Homo-oligomer: A and B are copies of this chain.
Amino acid sequence: MTAQVEQSLSSRPQLAHKQLANAIRALAIDSVEKAKSGHPGLPLGTADVAAVLFSRFLKFDAANPAWPDRDRFILSAGHGSTLLYALLYLTGSSTVTLDELKRFRQLHSKTPGHPENFVTPGIETTTGPLGQGLAMAVGFALAERLLNAEFGQDLIDHFTYVLASDGDLMEGISQEAIALAGHLKLNRLIVIWDDNGISIDGPLSLSDSVDQVKRFEAAGWSAVHVDGHDPEAIAAAIEAAQKSDRPTLIAAKTVIGYGSPKKAGTSKAHGEPLGADELVATKEALGWPHGPFEIPADILSAWREIGARGKAAREAWQSRLAARPEAERTEFARRINNETDARRLHAAIDALKTRLAAEKPTIATRKASELALEALVNEVPELLLGSADLTPSNNTRTKDLKSIAPGDYTGRYIHYGIREHAMAAAMNGILQHGGYRPAGGTFLVFSDYARPAIRLAALTGTPAIYVFTHDSIGLGEDGPTHQPVEHLAALRAIPNLRVLRPADAVETAEAWQIALGRTTGPTLLALTRQNLPTVRSEPGPQNLSATGAYELSPAEGVAVATLFASGSEVEIALAAQKLLQDKGIGARVVSVPSLELFLDQPEDVRKAVIGNAPVKVAIEAAVRFGWDGVIGPDGIFVGLSGFGASGPYKDLYAHFGITPEAVAEKVLARSHA
């Protein structure tokens, strides 16, 4: 800080604070006004909180936004993005310049409508869908504790701060997240709730009367009320939170649209520009006589000093890292950057495939996945396994893997509880923090519960791994509430998510190789409950699953039909092939472990695999939706057109006509037509 400003700050701390906060407010409302769209209410209301947090507490170095041991600040209420952009500019981001503030919400800007970590350095994660930021923050805070335990206090030791809105706390995912954080005693997680009493429909009293402090306490948190416009009260609350042995909620009572004479304290302040006149009136009320995007030099300078405040701490950290042996430094860098050790991964998978080729086990692919994990868990030390309370069903836990427990972060297995949504969101946070490759299990049908977080993983290019078992009517008696029929299609439709549905233990090993080798987005393994034979009897080192589909079994003689199938239905395709060939009808079988990976291949690759056999059949114990991309609208589909049913799984396959005989019959009818 310049001496002048420092003096000003120390002699008139309230005034100085007000100037710091008003700089945020002014830039935020100017940005929204210029964009003719956006959300002025939150930055106006929370600028005091943000100014206190950034100026007095947050450990960061604006010049090095990726410093691994920085404190994380997550704006869960992502619609208030101008708060972040203003802070980035003020503290000296090299990306978010004044020009970028002026390009708020414009195509190709660094200042999109909601914060996007894949667009803007200094943005920790992508928020906007409510509750996600809070739940991801639990992952950030857990990753911090895990790395702290594994690499030592001198390399990882930071806080994770969240600014959350009423909407964040009303979404169900918030309960899953706070229950998990409270249980695990993630005491370096500090959530500041923008308690403004307003939602889009009007006063919050229209829809809510939860006592949030009591609710958080019930989840094992510390929780306090403060005046969100009193900087000393905010600071005292943060200081106390830093010392708590539990995560802390700071309920900061604020006025939405603070300063706006006509809109403050109303839902009108939330989601649209103030309007030219009201903007002027607001600045006047705030005591901010400066023009649009104008920040007086002394204020800017004060903010820039705040942005550089962490430089010394970062340099000290870098010295400590440099003092480590080279191997440790290399490994730490690999880990924090989520890089794969390809050599060890591939060696482990190749060895496993060789063993499986010899043993040819008849096992469920969920069990095959467990075999793969046993082979990988020591070779991929960043693997962090877990399940949403279906550990014995998902087979996600390898032998002797230690569980993470409240206050003890030396394990590598997470009992997420019956919280699929928070699991998927926490996995995003863990990965975006860096350090671990989480893989989490539930039943495939419950991917629906986790879907908003799965989508965020795909959007942000976060390489989460979903181990989703019980992947069809093959789960049997639990019935249609538990049998996915549309989920494969619904998940394949998400851009940048890879869905893999392996046919046997070999393809399952390949699926794990693909998942762990991928660093640009999430991968989902759809695995069976029921046993399957090994169909890949002579696997080589090549990963045949990697292009999504391949000819598993050629036709005898001329191919009249090609039978495409995935997962458990590959066995049926092979049996149908035999039935057909016994009748002199040549049929090929193409295994399709990943429909969308296959559809993404170049046209010539696709055409070669699809081939020229006149009859095209797809077999999958699920809905047809999406398969026309392979077999065309006139192709034969053997699967389901509605929901499943409760019964032993072999009865269900027969009932729904997903059998070798049904396939052969349809091919015969078509080839004779």
Contact = CB atoms under 8 A, between A and B. Distances in A.
A351 B466 CA distance: 51
A454 to B, nearest CB: 8
Nearest to A119: B646
Interface string A486-500: 100110111110000
A211 interface: yes
Interface string A553-587: 00000000000000000000000000000000000
B170 A183 contact: no
Interface size class of A (residues with CB under 8 A): 35 or more
A625 B417 contact: no
Contacts of A389: 167, 170, 199-201, 207
A210 B220 contact: yes
28 contacts: A35-B477, A105-B477, A105-B647, A106-B648, A112-B479, A128-B478, A128-B481, A130-B418, A170-B417, A171-B420, A172-B172, A172-B175, A179-B208, A182-B210, A199-B418, A200-B391, A201-B389, A201-B391, A208-B417, A210-B219, A212-B218, A215-B215, A215-B218, A218-B218, A449-B452, A455-B486, A490-B494, A496-B643
A593 interface: no
Q: How many copies does the complex hold?
A: 2
Contacts of A623: 493, 495
A147 to B, nearest CB: 22
Secondary structure type dominating chain A contacts: loop
B476 A37 contact: yes
B641 A392 contact: no
Given A112-B645, A419-B170, A647-B106, A37 B208 contact: no
Given A172-B176, A172-B422, A199 B625 contact: no
Contacts of A406: 209
Interface in A222-242: none
A200 B78 contact: no
B417 A199 contact: yes
A199 B448 CA distance: 21
Given A107-B652, A172-B176, A477 B418 contact: no
A26 to B, nearest CB: 21
A477 B209 contact: no
Contacts of A128: 478-479, 481-482
Contacts of A108: 645, 647
Given A112-B646, A199-B418, A170 B166 contact: no
A486 B481 contact: no
Nearest to A600: B641
Contact of A455 (B131, B418, B448, B655): B448
A609 B469 CA distance: 40
A630 B633 CA distance: 7
A626 interface: yes
A107 B647 CA distance: 5
A415 interface: yes
Interface in A172-205: 172-176, 179-180, 182-183, 199-201
B183 A176 contact: no
A200 B79 CA distance: 38
A217 interface: yes
A653 to B, nearest CB: 11
Nearest to A485: B495
A390 interface: yes
